Structure 1
């Protein structure tokens, strides 16, 4: 039975929470540092609040219904426009645009090269400017680039537009991660991150259907690849305009929520110990990002899986075609890839949330594409083996679940606004680096076996599996260091990580309730959760495995 008594927003909530927010503000008038997170300033102005489990669930539902569809759509259209090159690869773009094999490979790589170059700028803009407006503008701009690609009929113009497309798309992945950190508790972030990353799979299905339909339209005025670019680009621009209208910049500025709902949305994030939004760029956070060993390990992990992903995503339809399928059959057989990715991304996120172990799940997932790569390398290419080769190809596509798991894992273990953004930028720079390298390991001259690319993929999958087991060991060491630091400061050594505990469980657990009451109660001025501290300098930060 769920206890409906008001619950504290975090272990830091003051006993005066029973008083109304206005009375609290007048009574205590908390003084918040100018360097603190904007959420701390919001709480200081509006007062700390208590709320019931039902109230929090209602606010969470409203956030899910407004914020989640918008970031799902943004990520979907980014993937659709980015992947359009793969869709048109079997509809004559190489012949119509007079492309050489290596030029086609560079069209796949240059987009990620642009994203790599512009990641630092994206991190800076996401800290300094309103998130919703920055992302919405980027969506409109890259949609326009995708549509304009229809006018490109040679390598030079296609290369230039793909570079511009990547420049604007550099904003979307780190912004989706920033939005996830800004609106949801740590225990909720893994599943939400899996939802928007699952748009990779939805893009496979929708993009394949659109390509299949438009590919049958024969026109004497435009090439088939041009109609696909126009369709994807125009839809993206229309969505971008909607995003600008409906996306709030932060929970503190969400006008569609009432004042109390905004207070609850902010208070519930305090236990994350990560902050919400500071709009202040702090160089000490940047320095800590680049000297943080765990961030470096995640960077290596994301580079490894992105090398494999980049090659497969660019050459996937060509590989399927060389199994012995026709152009249109290759498109149809690529559609199950989308369903597989949606299922494995969300399913693995659910498992990781239930067992609270991401490293082990990543290692388990990496076994599937490892087996798939071995099948594609060893099974002869002939008509009798199409089914086995397809199985291998589909197993390789399970790699799509690893990237969002790494994003969520890194994000949940990073505190401080500037550090969160720079750490995310570093992850996406790793993703871009891998995706630049990946397509270059494949060459149409290696068809139909593509052995160099597939062998490189196999090595990457094994590397990912090993790192998935090593990183949790280092996180355990960091938790022990923070425990020792709390003891030195005279704080309680064993604290409860409320951000990773379901509220319903918290209310139903007598043991947890007793432990909570024994913790030192701190007010907003003393709470590290909204002081915009980087995680290594915040002894109250608890790392999750």
Structure 2
């Protein structure tokens, strides 16, 4: 099944899926629903199903985008800002002021991801059992406090402890942003939404560099410059955390800013995802399927491979630019285009994957850019500050790797069904990300300056591996789709079904297809619809994997 592929559709059609299928409005007494079903199924059973048209759903989607998207954009921005503050202050004498040795600085980069790795299972459990909005908001306040308190740390041990606590609370944010994306948007909408919040990595580079440039000029005999930066970033994060708790709903069923009809539409439109919305039930069979799912293992390897260079470049990026022959402040200014490159590549590659309907191919294509950039940085000589422009070009090409991580997240999320499995699968993915980010900074050492050859060679190998996996994984997904097709035939269903969740509402050329889909969907009750029965994807024969 092509991923995010567009198909034309008539604007007058009505319904709950991208084929725009109608659901009969009912005035009957609420029907009982399987106690193991998703919370959304119970919500629809209690409130009744409704008929709505494209324009009405479009208004609901706009309201979701206007409220939910800015909040998760801000959450991801601030966690990236606080996490990256160590890189910003690296060229302002933190190693001298805090008496850090070369490997101690590397450990400050790795310890944050060690904490995230340890706390990912707990994050998955909390996201299933507790209200999502409240959990995220509290986590933001806690890590913002840690970032601010870090200003009081003036030696390796205290910095290490605070970076560990910072990582512990930040362990919540990335999987929760992914969970929110799965909870509020169709699969056809998730790729771009995920690219928006992950592009905050690039925005952080720009804003963080400007803030660091400005605060770095503050000279005080009572406080180090790196302490000023920590205080500023931490306090802003705490303020945003309070705002997040006030305005972020826990699920579409509990979104008080929507009226009852809008909440029903927000839930109904997600039924075609075949992924569920929120169950608040921890299911061990989902855990078992996650741990035995081959595609989860493949994505784990993929995310580790790209996170190794990500961790190293993130921690040592400004130092690498400085060693091209730039001064401290010029190194900050020249790191700003890095953010623009990342934003362009993240959003651009997501758009291209949506357009082509093939994430694997796009992912492989993106991996070519950092591969070329790394080769440039390894082969171009650095003599007396010469070749700055070429080296800087190589560094910017390497930064294109930022587009790969969000694509892996979206690809994995779109191919996982069942609430507990979605959360635990996300936890596995982020544990892989943490593992790579732990390893990455340790491959670099200030003693290897200015070439940093061991780290760059390791990165080159990882980029090539990522490109290869981008071509291999779709082959396995094709096998899974064939397996589900055979299973549907055994159960008396159609072998080929339309994946409504991956279509656009711009219309379908064949109106007869719409009519057939309407008739089929109209007969499908909430109880019989696998999309809201909280089934893991391997057990749901109606689940279609996207390439």
The answer to whether the Cα contact below 8 Å between 1:53 and 1:504 also exists between their aligned partners in 2 is: no
Aligned residue number for residue 538 of structure 2: 536
- Output the CA distance in 1 between the equivalents of 2:438 and 2:518: 52
Give the drift of 1:31: 2.2
1:12–1:524 Cα contact (<8 Å) kept: no
Aligned to 1:326: 327
Contact 1:6/1:51 (<8 A) preserved? no
In structure 1, the partner of 2:524 is 522
Alpha-carbon offset, residue 5 of structure 1 = 3.8
The structure-2 alpha-carbon separation of the partners of 1:539 and 1:12, relative to structure 1 and needing over 3 Å to count, comes to farther
> Does the aligned pair in 2 maintain the 1:307–1:435 contact within 8 Å?
yes
Partner of 1:106: 107
Report the Cα distance in structure 2 between the residues aligned to 1:152 and 1:43, rounded to whole angstroms. Answer: 52
User: Aligned residues, how many?
Assistant: 538
Structure 2: distance between partners of 1:376 and 1:395:
10
Aligned partners of 2:20 and 2:505 also within 8 Å:
no
Equivalent residue, structure 2, for 1:428: 430
Q: Residue 9 in 1 paired to residue 10 in 2?
A: no
Note the C-alpha offset of 1:48. Answer: 1.1
> Deviation per CA, 1:5-28, whole angstroms, max 9, x where unpaired?
45221499997x444x4x1x32xx
Indicate conservation of the 8 Å contact 1:9/1:49, yes or no: no
User: Which residue is equivalent to 2:117?
Assistant: 116
Alignment of 1:242-391 (within 5 A): 242-382=243-383, 383-391=385-393
Structure 2, unaligned runs of 5 or more: 1-7
- Whole-angstrom distance in 2 between the partners of 1:380 and 1:531: 60
1:185 aligns with 2:220: no
| Distance across 2 between alignment mates of 1:11 and 1:226 | 51
Q: Secondary structure at the match of 1:525?
A: coil
The separation in 2 between residues aligned to 1:60 and 1:517, in whole angstroms, is 22
Q: Which runs of 5+ in 1 are unaligned?
A: none
Shift of 1:503: 2.0
Contact 1:115-1:166 at 8 Å conserved across structures: yes
CA distance in 1 between partners of 2:11 and 2:544 (Å): 28
- d(CA) in 2 for partners of 1:49, 1:408: 30
Q: Are 2:79 and 1:78 equivalent residues in the alignment?
A: yes
Aligned partners of 2:372 and 2:507: how far apart in 1?
39
| Structure 1 pair 13–285 and aligned structure 2 pair: CA distance change class (3 A) | farther
Q: How does 1:145-156 map to 2 (within 5 A)?
A: 145-156=146-157
Contact in 1 for aligned 2:9/2:505 (Cα 8 Å): no
Matched with 2:241 is 240
1:220–1:426: structure 2 CA closer, same or farther, 3 Å change rule? same
8 Å CA contact retained: 1:180, 1:192:
yes
- How far apart, in 2, do the equivalents of 1:110 and 1:47 lie? 50
Q: Distance in 2 between matches of 1:79 and 1:341?
A: 13
- 1:192 alignment partner, SS class: helix
1:28-68 deviation digits (Å, cap 9, x = unpaired): x4221111000000000011112110001100000000000
What's the secondary structure of 2:256's corresponding residue?
coil
Q: Kindly state the Cα deviation for residue 510 of structure 1 after the two structures are TM-superposed.
A: 1.5
Deviations 1:364-417 (A, max 9, x none): 000000000000000001333101000000000000000000000000000000
Taking the aligned partners of 1:387 and 1:234, their CA distance within structure 2 comes to 37
- Distance in 2 (alpha carbons) for counterparts of 1:14 and 1:436: 47
Identify if the C-alpha distance between structure 1 residues 287 and 216 changes in structure 2 by more than 3 Å, giving closer, same or farther.
Answer: same
For residues 50-103 of structure 1, what are the alpha-carbon distances to aligned partners after superposition, in whole Å with 9 as ceiling and x for unaligned?
Answer: 211000110000000000000000000000000000000000000000000000
**TM-score w.r.t. structure 2 length?**
0.96
1:487 aligns to what? 489
Preserved contact between residue 12 and residue 522 of structure 1 (Cα < 8 Å):
no
CA–CA separation in structure 2 for the residues paired with 1:50 and 1:10: 12
What aligned pairs does 1:36-55 form with structure 2 within 5 A after superposition? 36-55=37-56
> What is the rounded CA distance, in whole Å, between the counterparts of 1:336 and 1:4 in structure 2?
42
Provide the C-alpha distance between the structure 2 equivalents of 1:513 and 1:376, rounded to a whole number of angstroms. Answer: 54
Please say if residues 18 and 504 of structure 2, whose CA atoms lie closer than 8 Å, have aligned partners that are also in contact.
Answer: no
Q: Does 1:162 align with 2:169?
A: no
Q: Give SS of 1:458's match.
A: helix
Match of 2:398 in 1: 396
TM-score (norm 1): 0.97
Q: Distance in 2 between matches of 1:165 and 1:393?
A: 28
Q: Return closer, same or farther for 1:516/1:444 CA change in 2, 3 Å cut-off.
A: same
In structure 2, how many angstroms separate the alpha carbons of the residues matched to 1:514 and 1:13?
Answer: 10
SS at match of 1:467: helix
- Hey, what's the Cα distance between the residues in 1 that align with 2:20 and 2:408? 32
User: Secondary structure, in 3 states, of the residue corresponding to 1:225?
Assistant: helix
- Higher mean C-alpha displacement, 496-505 vs 75-84: 496-505
| Secondary structure at 2:220 match in 1 | coil
1:116 CA displacement: 0.2
Q: What corresponds to 1:223 in structure 2?
A: 224
CA distance in 2, matches of 1:233, 1:375: 37
User: Per chain length, whose mean CA-contact separation is higher, i.e. which structure has more relative contact order (CA < 8 Å, sep 6+)?
Assistant: 2
Deviates more, 1:31-40 or 1:2-11: 2-11
Find out whether 1:500 has 2:499 as its counterpart.
no
Equivalent residues of 1:271, 1:499 under 8 A apart: yes
Q: Deviations over 1:450-482 (max 9, x none)?
A: 000000000000000000000000000000000
Partner deviation per Cα, 1:479-527 (whole Å, 9 max, x = no partner): 0000000000001111110000012325x64253144146463111100
1:406 match:
408
Is residue 11–residue 506 contact of structure 2 (8 Å, CA) maintained in 1? no
Which whole-Å CA distance do the structure 1 matches of 2:449 and 2:21 have between them?
Answer: 67
Q: Distance in 1 between matches of 2:18 and 2:357?
A: 21
What is the aligned partner in structure 2 of residue 455 from structure 1?
Answer: 457
